[in-house]
Chain A
Amino acid sequence: MTETAEAIVVGLGASGGIIAEQLTKAGIRVLALDKGPVHTTEEFTFKQDEVKYYSRGSLVPQLATDPVTWRPDEKSTARLLPWAAGVRGNSEPLHLPPSIGPGGGTLHWGGASWRHRDADFRMKSLIEERFGPDALDEDSTMVDWPIGYEDLEPYYDRVEWELGVSGRAGNVKGAPDPEGNPYESPRERGFPMPPLRTAPADDRFKAACQRLGYRPFQQPAAVASTDYKSLKGCEYCGFCHGFLCHVNAKQSSRITSVEAALQTGNLEIRSNSRAFRLDRDPSGRRITGVSYFDAEGNVHQVRSNLVVVACYALENSRLLLASGINANGQVGRNFMTHSFGWCSVVLPEFSNPFMAPLVAASVVDDLNCDGVPDNDEGVLWGSVLTSIPGDLQPIEAAHNLPPGMRRWGQGFKDWFSENYRRLMGIHNQVPSFPSKKYYCDLDPVVKDKFGQPALRITHDWSEHDLASLRYFEKVKRAIADEMGATQFWSEPTPPAYHLSTHEVGTHRMGENPADSVVDIFGESHECKGLYVVGGGQFPTLSGYNPTQTLQALAYLSADHILEKV
């Protein structure tokens, strides 16, 4: 007998958790399928363990069970993500798809929590206005968003107040606050919690930036600075990004939305349950349910005429493709990600980089979005620039050493024992642009353990990405000099990896069913009753981290679904 559910949510991460909460609170009985295990808070009491979470990547999917392949272009043969497929299986544990189990990526994210700026929704128009109609290359598939900042403002507000974000507003209803972000688009009200205490070296960064004429302010963070709703105030333990929070200070859908949904009594979570096909009626125009494997590989089918797929941008596109829901050929197109520009400095005094979360930091937003100055490198769009003063444990630190230095022997020992406590990072992230050349499809050869095709990513860093990395490297070098850094170096560019955990664009939203996959509410143009949500909806990526925006979109989708049912 086939089982029936009122609604199915596949994936209980950042976006799926929100939708499950909204639907269950409205009285809808939701069946949630998640391919990962259910994590409990007790499990994470002793999470101060770099080997388990960083070296062995126990929270991230393993390539053996969740293969993803990559190739730089169509001429090359794709292979398992080469930067992660070493003997240990996860040489770059933080450059894999986010973690699995209710909570998803918010189990071990950093918690940088950004609203996009007004300009981010009109990237294409603004670039063309400023740099001319030929500024974007001929393969570009960039479009403006079908919605604007003002459409999302109430939803951003909900993320901040319902889930909890700390920070200092810079622009409440047009009134500037010099302590906040001078570039933020107007907001109805401030944050529900004040900013975090900053990590030790942040003061020096902030002062240097001010002397250089920038306007640094404190990073808005999905980390509680005080007790707030189900969150507890941060204890600044510094095992944060890549780890779970032992006090529940870090906002995770596991403890916010999923917990609230469970309390309604209307949510059933089926963990270790992996969706592999979205089922449709004979016309293909309507969703009828989901097929999934349980942990033993047995196939189950659940029927429902309301299905929300929230499995992260990559897996979402794989599910659509594997289900043959791609009549217009747009699924998996427009893949975008960030190239990270990590720089490190050695400071003259102790910076104790192992204290505090990554986001207890200051940001320079002067060069972000359309604020990027005219430049010889041809950089068309900017990036946030942040200090990374905290959350650095020794094993991770040893993986980022000055280039040219021998990584072993007495010299290395002396350098590392002298300088580990003086390290600090400066970071920026360059949004890649959508292009005909960069997309995801199903790998013709590699399959997962259930025989389902792996997702194949075709992506390379473009000239523009590299130019941006070069441009921002100079800016960061100038800040480091002003800080009095005794050493400065950058991680190699182009980066070896092509996943940053900020993957977006693969099921673009738009009003025209011919060139997009879902509408602004996340509903599939092709298949009614099927919602596909998350960063995959983004028409463009911004210089900011994506999660608060995809959380806002999830609230928007939930409202829309509730209006219809």
Chain B
Amino acid sequence: MPATNEATKVRWVFLTETEAETVDAVCARIFPSGDGKPGARETKVITYIDRTVADEDEALRRCYRDGVEALNVLTLDLYGQRFAELSDERKDDVLERIEANTANESTAAPQDSPDEGLLSTFFALVWEHTIQGMFCDPQYGGNHEALGWQLVGFPGAQWGYDAEQMRPGFDSKTIPIKTLEDLRRELRRADD
């Protein structure tokens, strides 16, 4: 049963359909959904990644292109299915395997390591981008509706905090979240 969700139905700027599906499945294991709280899917991390990869350099794109392929080759080999088609337990097993390899490798020049190195670099990259996509300013396509910030209690792009808000133990979830767009709007209003 292929994993589909809202995010993978949009058109991608850079990723192919298969790439988006696979990467999205990895992101969803890094920051899962299903506990009633937002995860990578709800915050549209995959949209963030698609745009980021489209903007950035060749090395990064190659890493996604080759990484997705290597991951699917690996799981087809192991289980006869693409990564996105595996059960959550199997997905986690595969990712753990990849991580275990990372531990043995040096942090040195991942680019010229063989396939195993490629997969751990790929996973490290998707991890970075998942975190960024969860907690970036929404202008980058991730952190949809500031759901990531709500989850952790970060009020986002604030001009500053006052003494009352800076009391120890203050509940930051009572501060209305702002994005960069909100700040721009405030300044535009002030100009009028």
Residues of A within 8 A of B (CB): 45-46, 48-51, 55, 79, 82-83, 85-89, 197, 199-201, 203-204, 234-239, 246, 349-352, 354-356, 393-395, 398-399, 407-410, 412-413, 416-417, 420-421, 496
Asked whether B183 lies within 8 Å of A82 as measured between CB atoms, the reply is: no
Expressed in whole angstroms, the Cα–Cα distance for A394 and B130 within the complex equals 12
Of chain B, the residue at the smallest CB distance from A80 is B109
Asked whether A86 lies within 8 Å of B108 as measured between CB atoms, the reply is: no
Asked whether B136 lies within 8 Å of A350 as measured between CB atoms, the reply is: no
Contact of B168 among A83, A88, A89, A204 (CB under 8 A): A204
Asked whether A413 lies within 8 Å of B32 as measured between CB atoms, the reply is: yes
Expressed in whole angstroms, the Cα–Cα distance for A88 and B153 within the complex equals 28
Residues of A close to B154: CB separation below 8 A:
354, 393-394, 420-421
Expressed in whole angstroms, the Cα–Cα distance for A188 and B35 within the complex equals 61
**Which of the segments B7-15, B77-85, B159-167 contacts the partner chain?**
B159-167
Of chain A, the residue at the smallest CB distance from B168 is A200
Most B CB atoms within 10 A — which of A45, A237, A352, A398? A352
Tell me if B107 is interfacial: C-beta within 8 Å of chain A: yes
Which residues of B116-167 are within 8 A (CB) of A?
Answer: 121, 124-125, 127-128, 130-132, 134-137, 140, 148-149, 151-163, 165-167
The contact string, 1 if C-beta is below 8 Å from chain A, for chain B 82-122, is: 00000000001001000000000001111100000000010
Contact of B161 among A51, A86, A356 (CB under 8 A): A356
Residues of A close to B165: CB separation below 8 A:
352, 355
Asked whether B159 lies within 8 Å of A88 as measured between CB atoms, the reply is: no
6 closest pairs, A vs B, by CB? A235-B160, A48-B157, A394-B135, A408-B30, A349-B169, A420-B152
Asked whether B163 lies within 8 Å of A395 as measured between CB atoms, the reply is: no
Asked whether A87 lies within 8 Å of B161 as measured between CB atoms, the reply is: no
Identify 4 new A-B residue pairs, CB closer than 8 A, beyond the known A46-B184, A50-B135, A409-B32: A51-B137, A86-B107, A89-B57, A352-B172
Tell me if B59 is interfacial: C-beta within 8 Å of chain A: yes
The number of residues on chain B lying at the interface, defined by a beta carbon within 8 Å of a beta carbon of chain A, is 59
A412 CB to nearest chain B CB (Å) = 8
Expressed in whole angstroms, the Cα–Cα distance for A436 and B156 within the complex equals 48
Asked whether B148 lies within 8 Å of A394 as measured between CB atoms, the reply is: yes
Of chain B, the residue at the smallest CB distance from A86 is B110
Contact of A199 among B135, B166, B184 (CB under 8 A): B166
Expressed in whole angstroms, the Cα–Cα distance for A200 and B166 within the complex equals 5
A-B contact pairs, 27 of them (CB 8 A): A45-B183, A48-B183, A49-B137, A55-B132, A55-B136, A83-B107, A86-B121, A87-B59, A88-B56, A88-B60, A199-B166, A235-B161, A237-B159, A237-B161, A246-B159, A354-B154, A354-B172, A356-B166, A394-B154, A395-B135, A408-B127, A410-B32, A413-B35, A413-B39, A417-B37, A417-B151, A420-B153
Expressed in whole angstroms, the Cα–Cα distance for A413 and B30 within the complex equals 8
B63 CB to nearest chain A CB (Å) = 5
B26 CB to nearest chain A CB (Å) = 9
Given known A355-B165, A408-B95, contact A46–B131 (CB-CB < 8 A) = no
Expressed in whole angstroms, the Cα–Cα distance for A350 and B158 within the complex equals 18
Asked whether B35 lies within 8 Å of A87 as measured between CB atoms, the reply is: no
Tell me if B187 is interfacial: C-beta within 8 Å of chain A: yes
Expressed in whole angstroms, the Cα–Cα distance for A45 and B163 within the complex equals 22
Given known A46-B157, A87-B121, A237-B160, contact A421–B172 (CB-CB < 8 A) = yes
Of chain A, the residue at the smallest CB distance from B37 is A417
Expressed in whole angstroms, the Cα–Cα distance for A76 and B107 within the complex equals 16
Asked whether B183 lies within 8 Å of A350 as measured between CB atoms, the reply is: no
Most A CB atoms within 10 A — which of B39, B128, B148? B128
Of chain B, the residue at the smallest CB distance from A54 is B132
Expressed in whole angstroms, the Cα–Cα distance for A278 and B180 within the complex equals 44
Cross-chain pair count, CB within 8 angstroms:
145
Asked whether B109 lies within 8 Å of A45 as measured between CB atoms, the reply is: no
Residues of B close to A82: CB separation below 8 A:
107-109
Expressed in whole angstroms, the Cα–Cα distance for A430 and B134 within the complex equals 35
A251 CB to nearest chain B CB (Å) = 18
Residues of B close to A88: CB separation below 8 A:
56, 60, 125, 128
Residues of A close to B59: CB separation below 8 A:
87
Asked whether B180 lies within 8 Å of A46 as measured between CB atoms, the reply is: yes
Given known A408-B29, A408-B95, A417-B37, contact A200–B169 (CB-CB < 8 A) = yes
B109 CB to nearest chain A CB (Å) = 7
Tell me if B191 is interfacial: C-beta within 8 Å of chain A: no
A275 CB to nearest chain B CB (Å) = 27
Of chain B, the residue at the smallest CB distance from A408 is B30
Residues of A close to B159: CB separation below 8 A:
235, 237, 246
Expressed in whole angstroms, the Cα–Cα distance for A235 and B160 within the complex equals 5
Asked whether B31 lies within 8 Å of A408 as measured between CB atoms, the reply is: yes
Expressed in whole angstroms, the Cα–Cα distance for A349 and B147 within the complex equals 23
A342 CB to nearest chain B CB (Å) = 18
Asked whether B140 lies within 8 Å of A236 as measured between CB atoms, the reply is: no
Contact of B63 among A87, A356, A408, A412 (CB under 8 A): A87
Given known A238-B161, A356-B161, A421-B152, contact A407–B168 (CB-CB < 8 A) = no
Contact of B132 among A45, A51, A79 (CB under 8 A): A51
Expressed in whole angstroms, the Cα–Cα distance for A349 and B171 within the complex equals 10
A493 CB to nearest chain B CB (Å) = 15
Expressed in whole angstroms, the Cα–Cα distance for A538 and B57 within the complex equals 39
Residues of A close to B109: CB separation below 8 A:
79, 82, 85
Asked whether A416 lies within 8 Å of B152 as measured between CB atoms, the reply is: yes
Residues of A close to B29: CB separation below 8 A:
408-409
Asked whether B160 lies within 8 Å of A350 as measured between CB atoms, the reply is: no
Expressed in whole angstroms, the Cα–Cα distance for A238 and B153 within the complex equals 15
Asked whether A413 lies within 8 Å of B31 as measured between CB atoms, the reply is: yes
